[in-house]
A and B are shown apart, each in its own frame.
Chain A
């Protein structure tokens, strides 16, 4: 199974998520993670979807089917080496009075994670990194009781010099404003 990151640029209107996910559902492809936000261009959303699949051919077909959605402006399928990518995770870790204190220096310097909220009996730690880095930290912090753990979807940007303007020229966009 190879990890693929699919970036979809769409008009920012109601129901597009549904139109995209139905294409995955029909082909029985599970979405591992999903992130949506507006791009630097107003009115254009960017979906970052991570899937695992054994067939590159099937992923290419999936990409072409997504491109057929009328509101979709562009779709790109990437392998991990094609992109810079990251996720963010939050850990709520128990710190009861009398328990072994957290090693904040190691957390900061070794794991590049930060305490973002202090409470008398717990802290919330934010860790940014790849899925692997986040789970490395997960294993480190596990001996302290993890009360809650949440991981965001992946955000990814292609390493190629191409920008949004290259496949969606400014002039074209102005025409529709």
Chain B
């Protein structure tokens, strides 16, 4: 069907007065969709409603070019767009209506900004003459989202649409990625543009110039510190994945022989098998990485931001070490840790530029120190977790069995809590770009929608969501989205009938006063079956292998509920306010 016929039909429906307009002029809604297509968007996660109906009317004509996934709650759209953005590096797109549609997105937008995730949210707004009148479903979305967007803008004229959408995509994806929100009044969607639609990609803005290539003097200063260091320690974060710097990072640590540890969001950028990989950092990270943070003489931080869950008590954090901080966002430099050699730029470019300046080195003795701690951690924690004598299954063995069965190459989407930390600890990532979780905001309910967003972005990869019983019930309705779209994501619920992480803290720091953490759960499998999704409950250790096999063999969405030990704790642990060197093993 030709585009012009449909376009004319739409214009006549919404704007009968201007049906005589020149055929090359399109209305705002068509401009929105054509702009998205021109930006390369193939999938939109959305939910219709009054103020966005003109755009939904336009999408109807472009179903052969744009795949729209109808979520069950706008928060699901935001997290799905995040999952898509994280796995592809491209911009995830949400489309929702004004008022409650927009406010339901807020959690996802806040999640995206703190985890540097590229996203464009297009939101309907009441007609411009109604702005500020408390009209039906009017909310000051611009005001609400200022602190949680990289950029937001309200469009009140159809003519603005192509330029603003191009700008939105450029801002969302470039530099340190983040969410951009475009609020479009209903009249701007309905009215005809006064000039022919032209899409011009945005490549430059007067007031925004993210620096990609670091300054040479910064690189030289960093290289000098790296070459002088006796006990250098490299930390890599989400920035490595965002800038596709995995290869450069591996070349760098191989040439310099520096041990490298990951942040939570850096996981999977370096394979667990790499000899220089020594584990991950932070509250539930590895023993050696945390303790030796306070014994190294140089930290090379690549694309990470010294989150408080990584550093613990700052006054006792790495005081002995100099810091090289490679970071694209200048506001992160010196924000938490004073950098002795700041390098502002893209991680990939920075590592490329450092390579010829750093010396080949041998840090075998220094790297061996990590192994000593590994032995202790292995004996005290890992082995008991993986080969338990408990009657009930433990989370760690589920994760490790899954890891073995998927060869460490699946895309793992973890929700927030104990199961998230267990996933980070026991899944052995062997392929880059394989771990998606809500790190900064800690958004419960993230994983189910993010998993189908990731599946859209990586249809050829196995995508497994690991979710707690508490988290699952926060976005449980997205089972409907998964069923309707037929996206074959695999869902594992680690069910301990508790809000496990809060319970752990109550046990350790609140004298076991279990205040509102026990859950009376529904029958998850019956619910899944109600949505048309097959599932199985595994309650016995001898059934675990077969259960996982069955789940992985399915070419459809599948829910596996595993009944796990009710009161297990995640260790090691750096309690809040403690020093990384005082990490607890029990």
Contacts and interface: CB of A to CB of B under 8 A. Distances in A.
Secondary structure at chain B's binding surface: helix, strand, loop or mixed? mixed
A73 B207 CA distance: 4
Contacts of A57: 334
Contacts of A11: 206-207
A61 interface: yes
B151 A22 contact: no
Contacts of B335: 61, 64
A73 B209 CA distance: 10
B206 A15 contact: no
Contacts of A68: 329, 331
Interface stretch (B139-147, B372-380, B566-574): B139-147
B151 A61 contact: no
A15 B146 contact: yes
Interface in B311-348: 329-331, 333-335
Contacts of B207: 10-11, 70-73
Contacts of B329: 68
A52 to B, nearest CB: 22
B147 A22 contact: yes
Interface string A14-42: 11001100100010000000000000000
B155 to A, nearest CB: 12
A173 interface: yes
Contacts of A73: 206-207
A19 B331 contact: no
A73 to B, nearest CB: 4
A144 interface: no
B206 A67 contact: no
A176 interface: yes
Contacts of B151: 70
Interface string A76-99: 000000000000000000000000
A70 B208 CA distance: 6
Interface of A is mostly: helix
Nearest to A70: B151
Interface in A48-75: 57, 60-61, 64-65, 67-68, 70-73
Contacts of A175: 204, 206
B334 A61 contact: yes
A148 interface: no
B300 interface: no
B331 A15 contact: no
B147 A15 contact: no
Nearest to A43: B206
Contacts of A72: 207
B79 interface: no
B146 A61 contact: no
B17 interface: no
B38 to A, nearest CB: 21
Given A61-B331, A65-B331, A70 B146 contact: no
A71 B150 CA distance: 11
B171 interface: yes
Contacts of A71: 207
A173 B171 contact: no
Contacts of B205: 70
A57 B142 CA distance: 30
Given A15-B146, A26-B147, A70-B151, A173 B331 contact: no
Contacts of A22: 146-147
A9 B171 CA distance: 19
A18 B204 CA distance: 24
11 contacts: A14-B154, A15-B142, A22-B147, A26-B147, A57-B334, A60-B334, A61-B335, A70-B151, A72-B207, A168-B206, A173-B206
Given A15-B146, A18-B146, A22-B146, 10 more contacts: A11-B206, A15-B154, A19-B146, A60-B334, A64-B330, A64-B331, A68-B329, A73-B206, A173-B206, A175-B204
